[in-house]
Structure 1
Amino acid sequence: MTENQRLNFLFNRQLQYLNSTEEKEEFILLMADPINEEQVKQLLNSYWEEFDENEFSPAVFLFGDGEKMLSKIQSENIYPLPKARRKPKLWIGIAAALAIMLFGASLFYLKQNAGLADTKAYIKPGSAGATLKLANGKTIKLSAAVNGELANEAGVTITKTTNGQLVYEIKGTTSPDQINTLSTSNGETYQVRLPDGSLVWLNSASSLSYSTALVQSGKRSVKLLGEAYFEIAKDTKHPFIVKTGNQEVEVLGTHFNVNAYDNESQAKTTLLEGSVKIKNKANQKIISPGEQATVTGDDISVEKVNTGYAVDWKNGVFRFTDKTLEAGMLEVARWYNVQVIYKRPELKNEILGGRISKYASITQVLKKMAITGAFRFTVKDREIIVE
């Protein structure tokens, strides 16, 4: 979900009075960001066009003296509002109420300056994109590729769909020696549907290698570097194996997340549905839904967790709850494609909290992280300095 889509989603939920406390905070930040000004105007115009006064629920907005509120808001140079084309008094009240949302958002936005020394820098968040390397050595930049058939090799047709998903379909005799690699850079994420129908969401700075036939020696097997979320199609005859640097995850049909970046000391597998076996050279463990297996060297530990935290990245959210600053900044660095410099190494162990949209501006994300006041950020070009 892009930042524009996220704002549309939260706007519509706000109109239905459905936003949670955290969603309201995210909504306010997105509404207040000057980058979204044109989209906010369009949303207000669109709402007015579709508005039915007979179905209007006063619970959605704050009400008061509409004309006075509108005058006050306009005097503060808040976004101009569309002209009334129906009942003037009713529109003034609604426009004022909507504008108050923006007015409050603007005040909130201005109060969030603590913790960020340079607010002029703008670094775009990541987006859908990846590079596909075929068995013959050809590479395809998927963000630039047109929708439709991309390749036909070894009996497999590879297609890019209109929603940006990569789809493999077996249409002939396949060879297990034909290896493809799907890789994302910093600031990219992508989704692929494998030949067996399994779905994989690949996080930033990650890669997934697999045979175009997928099945090798009676098993469906892929190799992962980085992080991915899997929804595996059930096939009792062919177990699905995810290989990372020092572990294997074996399943028959299930939903799970694997985090195994080379620059992190632990590999974590979080199970949402089904059953998986985690094994390395020294140990193996079977985990159940709601559990997370952590591999550190030869050791495998298992604990109950909130599985939603592990897959927030797939749903377009940074979840900082109980994470160290170092762990949080690793995620930020991969998504926004920036370098992080610590003036004081001990700050890496500061504990964070909260959540925010991955499609928020870098300034919003850093302000959220620095809300405790224990450290501050300075943004220079593509460097984030922590002090």
Structure 2
Amino acid sequence: MKETEILALLQKYQEGTLSDEDKDKLDAWYLYAASNSNRDLNEYELEDSYGYLKSKLPLHAETKVIKIWPRIVAAASIALLLGTGILYWTKPKEKMVHIVEKTEEIVPGGTRGILTLSNGKQIVLSDISAKDTIAKEGENDEVTIKMDANGVITYTVNPNAEISKENANAFNTLSTPTGGQYNIVLADGTKVYLNTVSSLKYPTRFNGNQRLVELEGEAYFEVAKNKEKPFMVKSGNQSVEVLGTHFNIHAYNNEPVIKTTLLEGSVSVTYKNQKTFLKPGEQSNAAYNSNTIVIRKVDTEAAVAWKNGRFKFDNADLKSVMKQLERWYGIKVEYRGDVSDVRFSGGTFMNKNLSEVLKVLELSNIKFKVEGKTIIVYP
């Protein structure tokens, strides 16, 4: 098969217009070339197999095509050939191709959570198949905990039930593991979207003159309005108070700054001895090693993109970007060289495999090498 013919078939593959007959032709050629290979090469020595193919392809005399594999295998072979970036084309005199074994894809996280009841019992939410009542709280079943058809946890207070001493100050905790997110509706109707590697401690019902919850990690809140009972979120040395509004808090213990982003309404932010108020579109930054609060205008869509299933970066530094990937994909990141001045804008979807996300980041001239679950970053 001539070089021009092969390139034409590959172009059709990239465009998604290959016919079944063309797939068989390309598969037969691939099998012939790969079967004669005797050369190993690590996948990271190539930056772009398709571009490399067009510039280096050493094809020779036309070869008789014999159909060896079914069409479904042919399609898989082509996907391996083009989609993994692990081709090596030898010098013309060798006439051989070798395919390095494809590394296992690192898949994205999903809907996973653990609910800890006031008695210490833990319920792994991802293991629950029934979408109905999953637990009750209190001696008199004052609070019913349910899971709806979308997997959202809801709390319903029985107004006719006598409040037992046990449930007067009962707390539950919703936590998410690495690669997990979960949504919950609290007893007052407040919706909380909990990001990965986070936990929210909250009362099963809100008694007294305030609604207090405690957050570690990241969460987006849509607070039910109640002018008589302010809603408060405590994260370390910071507390946020609202009456009813939408905001995001990013407060991971392994990051140096607590970020609170307001989307609508107003909130007050107190950090150590400082207090300030946010307007929509503003974000407060409270550094652990400082006593001050810095306010800046931000892209609110980037701050809450995770809630909508996206990575979105607004001039984000490389290390903060990689921390998001560590939590979502369960990876470890190592740096080889100075990357302090590398910043990203743009994004991609969180349901993609890690390899696809890294390709997007590589557009900023950063190189990645995957070794198992470790990602090595080169400037």
TM-score (norm 1): 0.70
Aligned length: 294
Question: Which one of 109, 112, 137 corresponds to residue 129 of structure 1?
Answer: 112
Deviates more, 1:349-358 or 1:285-294: 349-358
- 1: CA distance between counterparts of 2:101 and 2:284? 40
Corresponding residue for 2:331?
338
| Residue matched to 2:137 | 153
Q: C-alpha separation between the residues in 2 aligned to 1:314 and 1:176?
A: 32
| Cα displacement string for residues 81-113 of structure 1 (whole angstroms, at most 9, x for unaligned residues) | xxxxxxxxxxxxxxxxxxxxx9xxx89x75978
Task: Using the TM superposition, give the Cα deviation of residue 214 of structure 1 relative to its aligned residue in structure 2, in angstroms.
Answer: 2.8
Maintained 8 Å contact 2:84/2:102 = no
Q: Which residue of 2 aligns with 1:141?
A: 124
AA partner of residue 262 (structure 1)? N
Q: Which structure: greater helix fraction? A: 1
Partner of 1:206 in structure 2?
198
**Which residue is 1:312 aligned to?**
305
Task: Look up the match of 2:216.
Answer: 225
The answer to whether the Cα contact below 8 Å between 2:179 and 2:330 also exists between their aligned partners in 1 is yes
Pairs within 5 Å for 1:326-365:
326-344=319-337, 346-365=338-357
Say whether residues 1:266 and 2:268 are aligned partners.
no
Helix, strand or coil at the partner of 2:128: coil
Kindly provide the amino acid, as one letter, of the partner of residue 272 in structure 2: K
Task: Using CA pairs under 8 Å that are at least 6 residues apart, name the structure with larger relative contact order, 1 or 2.
Answer: 1
Counterparts of 1:232 and 1:119, CA distance in 2: 47
Coordinate RMSD, CA, aligned: 2.9
Paired residue type of 2:325: V
Sort the Cα spacing of 1:77 and 1:158 in 2 relative to 1 into closer, same or farther, 3 A: farther
Question: Counterpart amino acid of 2:284?
Answer: A
CA distance in 1, matches of 2:254, 2:184: 24
Q: Mean alpha-carbon deviation: is it higher for 135-144 or for 287-296? A: 287-296
Contact 1:326 1:349 in 2 (8 A): no
Question: For 1:179-194, what aligned pairs fall within 5 Å after superposition?
Answer: 179-194=171-186
Distance 2:251 2:244 in 1: 21
CA distance in 1: counterparts of 2:118 and 2:348, whole angstroms? 39
Change (3 A) 1:206 1:71: closer
Q: Name the CA shift for 1:256/1:118 in 2 (closer, same or farther; >3 Å).
A: farther
Larger radius of gyration: 2
Q: What is the CA deviation profile of residues 330-378 of structure 1, one whole-angstrom value per residue up to 9, with x for unaligned ones? A: 000100111112223x2254212320100011100111112222x3212
Moved over 6 A (4+): 111-114
2:317 alignment counterpart: 324
Q: Superposed, which structure 2 residues align to 1:1-387 within 5 Å?
A: 74=23, 110=83, 120-146=103-129, 147-154=131-138, 155-171=142-158, 172-174=161-163, 175-215=167-207, 217-296=208-287, 297-344=290-337, 346-373=338-365, 375-387=366-378
Runs (5+) with no aligned partner, structure 2: 1-12, 28-74, 88-99
Q: Which has the higher strand share?
A: 2
What SS is found at the alignment partner of 1:341?
A: strand
Distance apart, 1:183 and its partner CA: 0.3
Query: For 2:259, what is the secondary structure of its paired residue?
Result: strand
Residue aligned with 1:132, SS: strand
Contact preservation (8 Å) 2:146, 2:153: yes
- The aligned amino acid for 1:353 is S
Residues 138, 325 of structure 1: alpha-carbon distance in 2 compared, 3 angstrom cutoff:
same
CA 1:165–1:266 in structure 2 vs 1: closer, same or farther (change >3 Å)? same
3-state SS in 1 of match to 2:105: coil
**CA displacement at 1:72 relative to structure 2:** 8.8
Distance 1:73 1:277, change over 3 A: farther
How far off its partner does 1:144 sit?
Answer: 0.2
Corresponding residue SS for 1:262: coil
Q: Residue 247 of structure 1 contacts residue 278 of structure 1 at CA under 8 Å; is this kept in 2?
A: yes
Look up the SS of the partner of 2:344 in the other structure: coil
Q: Give distance in 2, aligned partners of 1:271 and 1:76.
A: 57
Question: Residue type matched to 2:190 in 1?
Answer: S
Aligned residue identity for 1:156: V
Distance across 2 between alignment mates of 1:181 and 1:284:
28
Measured at CA, do residues 120 and 298 of structure 1 come closer, stay the same or move farther in structure 2, by a change above 3 Å? same
Instruction: Name stretches of at least 5 consecutive residues in structure 1 with no aligned partner.
Output: 1-30, 33-60, 79-101
Matched-pair identity in %: 38
CA, structure 1 residues 132+71, in 2 after alignment: closer, same or farther (shift >3 Å)? Answer: closer
**SS of residue matched to 1:353:** strand
**TM-aligned CA distance change 1:294 to 1:113, over 3 Å:** farther
Give the secondary-structure state (helix, strand or coil) at the position aligned to 1:214. coil
Q: CA deviation at 1:319?
A: 1.2
1:4-25 CA-to-partner distances (Å, cap 9, x unmatched) read: xxxxxxxxxxxxxxxxxxxxxx
Distance 2:127 2:242 in 1: 34
Alpha-carbon spacing, 1:157–1:285, altered in 2? closer, same or farther (3 Å): same
Q: CA deviation at 1:121?
A: 2.8
Letter of the structure 2 residue corresponding to residue 159 of structure 1: K
Q: 1:73 to 1:311 in 2, by over 3 A?
A: farther
